[in-house]
């Protein structure tokens, strides 16, 4: 395989050092929130957002006031996006059915899909107000049937962001807090005197938000480690440099550390894209952020053939993968590690981010190797149950269970089975021994 990097970002050692700094800051912050609760949360809000309201939770009148500031056009657009996301989430929910089956005569096994009982949905809003993240988390949790949905987002210019509040409310949030960053994650997960803790935290965010979720996992559930955003463009000579450069910078503008990678088998396209990115950075209003990401985290990788492109793409396991080739469906069939695929030049990552209907909270940092993105199923727990309806079934299963427990040396386990064999099978099993079959017993 001949894979050439025409451009690469900062070395992994430097990225690891950055991660270590974030890890230490988050650990100290979460410990402070656990110790001092609301006082620590308020100090962090003042420090990072210069926001010190009487209450971080919005009242119904405050929600109404915020929504009144959203234009009719913006409100209609939000509702359109939520319709698409709801439609797809409902189809996903319908695919998840409860199961009950009789595996042996008289033996009933089943599972039920039960919603998580309380969820904290984080909506980023630092550099850019991520209105769409409210649809992706709050609305999807609502479709799943979560009975308590808490939503939090940072203030914008010292006040709740009207469109984010509207999206949260319309999506089905039961509690809305104007609170950002790792302090919001800590407050929702750990709880304070004014915020009851939740069972699960979901939503994307910056490196500090993602690290807070990682450190809190176990105490609460999380959807996945989502952030900072990543994009991979897989392209051949069927598309041009302007399209590739636009799609790369479209995600690079998220933040200073958003990886954007072009993977191609066309040297001409690779060089042209590098030139086009320089041109677009000269006219892009958000160039300061996009340029920082491109310089430190951008890459252009040249491969000899499509098989090399496929192998490299699965190794990268990017959050977003835009595929624009003469064989898009081949990549759909063959790729195994990614957050979401965007197939063909007619769609793009921004469609998925904002409106098309699939969820935009997706695995980053190679997590696509072992998990998909946020979806309605993440808010549901699949719990099993069993029951035995006949004496014959209780005896048969109990005999097997007794012997298998004794095989492992678990005598008390075996006695759980033996007592059923004695009572329902009328069989005299000596205490602490393995149950045997009766000679006239049907198997």
Active site residue 169: no
Report the pLDDT value the prediction gives residue 40, as an integer from 0 to 100. 98
Q: What is the mean pLDDT of the chain?
A: 95
CATH: 3.40.50.1980, 3.30.930.10, 3.20.10.10, 3.30.70.1140. Which one for 228-373? Answer: 3.40.50.1980
82 contacts 170 by C-beta, under 8 angstroms: yes
Work out the pLDDT band at 440, boundaries 50, 70, 90: low
Report the pLDDT value the prediction gives residue 14, as an integer from 0 to 100. 77
Half-sphere exposure of 39 (CA within 13 A, CB side): 5
| Choice between 3 and 104, residue whose per-residue pLDDT is larger | 104
Tell me the angle at which helices 12-36 and 207-216 cross, rounded to the nearest 10 degrees.
Answer: 60
Report the pLDDT value the prediction gives residue 281, as an integer from 0 to 100. 97
Name the CATH architecture for the domain at 20-96+114-223. Answer: 3-Layer(aba) Sandwich (3.40)
In the chain, pLDDT over 70 holds for what percent of residues?
98
- pLDDT tens track for 16-53: 788 899 999 999 999 999 999 999 999 999 999 999 99
- pLDDT tens track for 274-299: 999 999 999 999 999 999 999 999 99
pLDDT at 1 over 60: no
132 CB contacts (<8 Å, ≥6 apart)?
81, 167, 353, 354, 355, 360
Report the pLDDT value the prediction gives residue 439, as an integer from 0 to 100. 61
Residue tagged active-site, from 135, 169, 254, 320 = 320
Going by C-alpha positions, the residue among 160, 199, 193 that lies closest to residue 176 is 160
pLDDT at 73 over 90: yes
Active site residue 437: no
Three-state SS at 264: strand
pLDDT at 443 over 60: no
Residue tagged active-site, from 175, 230, 253, 319 = 319
Question: Tokens at residue 430, please?
Answer: 């000596």
Mean pLDDT value of segment 222-248: 94
Instruction: State the Cα–Cα distance between residues 86 and 369, nearest whole angstrom.
Output: 27
- pLDDT tens track for 378-392: 999 999 999 999 999
Residues of the chain with CATH 3.40.50.1980: 20-96+114-223, 228-373
Half-sphere exposure of 401 (CA within 13 A, CB side): 16
Q: Considering the entire predicted model, what is its pTM?
A: 0.91
- pLDDT tens track for 332-349: 999 999 999 999 999 999
Report the pLDDT value the prediction gives residue 42, as an integer from 0 to 100. 98
Cα dist. 75→64, 72, 224, 357, 422 in Å?
A: 13, 5, 29, 17, 68
Question: Tokens at residue 160, please?
Answer: 């709740």
């Amino acid at each position: 395989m001949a894979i050439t990097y025409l451009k690469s970002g900062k070395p992994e050692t430097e990225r690891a050092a950055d991660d270590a700094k974030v890890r230490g800051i988050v650990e100290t912050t979460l410990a402070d929130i656990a110790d001092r609760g609301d006082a620590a949360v308020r100090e962090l809000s003042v420090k990072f957002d210069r926001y010190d309201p009487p209450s971080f939770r919005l009242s119904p009148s405050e929600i109404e006031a915020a929504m009144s500031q959203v234009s009719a056009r913006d409100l209609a657009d939000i509702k359109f996006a939520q319709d698409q996301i709801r439609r797809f989430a409902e189809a996903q929910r319908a695919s998840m059915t409860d199961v009950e089956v009789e595996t042996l005569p008289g033996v009933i096994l089943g599972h039920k899909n039960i919603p998580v009982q309380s969820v904290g949905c984080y909506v980023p809003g630092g550099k850019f107000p991520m209105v769409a993240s409210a649809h992706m988390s709050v609305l999807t949790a609502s479709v799943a049937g979560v009975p308590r949905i808490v939503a939090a987002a940072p203030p914008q210019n010292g006040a709740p962001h009207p469109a984010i509040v509207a999206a949260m409310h319309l999506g089905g949030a039961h509690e809305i807090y104007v609170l950002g960053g790792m302090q919001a994650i800590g407050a929702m997960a750990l709880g304070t005197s004014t915020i009851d803790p939740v069972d699960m935290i979901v939503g994307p965010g910056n490196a500090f938000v993602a690290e807070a979720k990682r450190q809190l996992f176990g105490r609460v559930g999380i959807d996945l480690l989502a952030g900072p955003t990543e994009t991979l463009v897989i392209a051949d000579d069927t598309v041009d440099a302007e399209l590739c450069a636009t799609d790369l910078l479209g995600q690079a503008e998220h933040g200073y550390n958003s990886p954007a990678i072009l993977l191609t088998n066309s040297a001409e396209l690779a060089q042209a894209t590098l030139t086009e990115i320089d041109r677009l950075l000269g006219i892009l209003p958000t160039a300061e952020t996009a340029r920082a990401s491109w310089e430190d985290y951008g890459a252009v990788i040249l491969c000899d053939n499509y098989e090399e492109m496929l192998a490299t793409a699965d190794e990268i396991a990017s959050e977003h993968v835009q595929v624009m080739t003469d064989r898009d469906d081949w990549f759909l069939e063959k790729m195994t590690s990614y957050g979401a695929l965007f197939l063909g030049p007619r769609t793009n990552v921004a469609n998925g981010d904002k409106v098309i209907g699939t969820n935009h909270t997706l695995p980053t940092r190679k997590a696509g190797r072992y998990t998909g993105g946020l979806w309605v199923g993440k808010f549901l727990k699949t719990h099993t149950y069993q029951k035995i309806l006949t004496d014959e079934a209780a005896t048969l299963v109990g005999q097997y269970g007794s012997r298998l427990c004794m095989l492992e040396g678990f005598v008390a386990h075996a006695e759980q089975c033996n007592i059923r064999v004695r009572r329902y099978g009328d069989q005299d099993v000596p205490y602490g021994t393995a149950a045997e079959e009766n000679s006239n017993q049907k198997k």
